[in-house]
């Protein structure tokens, strides 16, 4: 039986929903405003303790260092992640809002591409940031397939 540890708590996927994030981003007056919103969201993400910053928890394909840890409780996936870059911490919150606390079926059913399109961010990210964001999503999808 796997050991259960307590993950740091964050509001993404629980108090802050995808609908909240979409509304906030669509109310933004331009790319700079959206960028500020993403940075502010990233500030609500708790920093991971160094014990979580292990090589096997690193996501490859990201320009910045990104660590992702998950736990399954009652068939629901709970995630905590961190990065050494402020904008990436914010991008992580967008992904966690979509997937945290969901079942594998809910994660697989969620249309992440439409969600990102509704946020109006992807076109403004550098190719490496966009690829990193996709790498985070792909890692989560691989975890729920196991």
12 in helix, strand or coil?
Answer: strand
Query: Tokens 């995630």 appear where?
Result: 79
Q: State the Cα–Cα distance between residues 68 and 43, nearest whole angstrom.
A: 17
CB 79 within 8 A of CB 137: no
State the catalytic residues: 62
DSSP single-letter state for residue 52: G
Q: Is the dihedral of CA 15, 33, 60, 64 positive or negative?
A: negative
């Amino acid at each position: 039986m796997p050991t259960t540890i307590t993950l740091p708590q964050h509001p993404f996927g629980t108090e802050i929903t995808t609908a909240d994030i979409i509304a906030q981003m669509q109310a933004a007056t331009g790319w700079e405003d959206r960028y500020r919103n993403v940075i502010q969201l990233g500030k609500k993400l708790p920093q991971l303790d160094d014990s979580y910053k292990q090589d096997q928890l690193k996501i490859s394909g990201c320009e910045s260092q990104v660590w992702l840890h998950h736990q399954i409780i009652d068939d629901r996936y709970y995630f905590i992640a961190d990065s050494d870059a402020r904008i990436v911490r914010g991008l992580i919150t967008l992904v966690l809002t979509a997937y945290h606390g969901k079942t594998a079926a809910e994660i697989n059913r969620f249309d992440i591409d439409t969600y990102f399109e509704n946020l109006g961010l992807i076109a403004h990210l550098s190719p490496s940031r966009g690829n990193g964001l996709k790498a985070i999503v792909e890692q989560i999808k691989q975890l729920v397939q196991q």
